[in-house]
Amino acid sequence: MNYFELFGLPVQLVVDKSTISKQYFLLQKKYHPDFYTQSGEDEQTDMLEQSALINKAYKTLQQPDATIQYVLQLHGLIEVEEKYQLSNSFLMEMMDINEQLMEASMEEDATKKAAIQQELQNIQEAIYAPVKEIIEHYTDGVSTKEELLQVKDYYYKKKYLSRILAGLK
């Protein structure tokens, strides 16, 4: 059973957080191990495992990037610890930005760092634009593999940008 089935949802790239929260609390009421303290050891173990699965699913579906990664994994388009090859033009652009960041850090120039942060956010918006419709309107079984591969490229670019942005803070 995948996380979407567990929560009674269709597979999607954008999940309504309030729906997930409601389902989470309903599932926890049903499967939380504390409600099975008088049960047999096997049932307690099953409920503990079910509760752990519910928690893991909830954590994944609450985070947009983790949800995208999970859907791509469901379709066999991404592997854990995959070494995805980003385009050379993107990598060159990131190399230039990293050099600017090193220079700004050495000079302790907050204005340059803020400008670089804004540039990174602009890049993030630019890489999202081509996949916005795919992500927001994804329908399992209708959306194509090619569309999901575009989302995969976006996912890895965003992940790269997020690491740089995290280093700025």
Kindly indicate the confidence band of residue 36, based on its pLDDT and cuts at 50, 70 and 90: low
Q: Is the pLDDT of residue 79 over 80?
A: yes
Q: Which tokens sit at 53? A: 């699965």
109 vs 64, higher pLDDT = 64
Q: For 81-105, how does the pLDDT look when each residue is reduced to its tens digit (9 = 90+)?
A: 889 999 999 999 999 999 998 888 8
Q: Is the pLDDT of residue 43 over 80?
A: no
Kindly indicate the confidence band of residue 31, based on its pLDDT and cuts at 50, 70 and 90: confident
Axis crossing angle, helix 110-128 with helix 88-107, rounded to the nearest 10: 160
Q: For 105-163, how does the pLDDT look when each residue is reduced to its tens digit (9 = 90+)?
A: 888 888 988 999 999 999 999 999 999 999 999 999 899 999 999 999 999 999 999 99
48 vs 39, higher pLDDT = 48
pLDDT (average), residues 38-44: 74
Percent of the chain with pLDDT over 70: 97
Percent of the chain with pLDDT over 90: 69
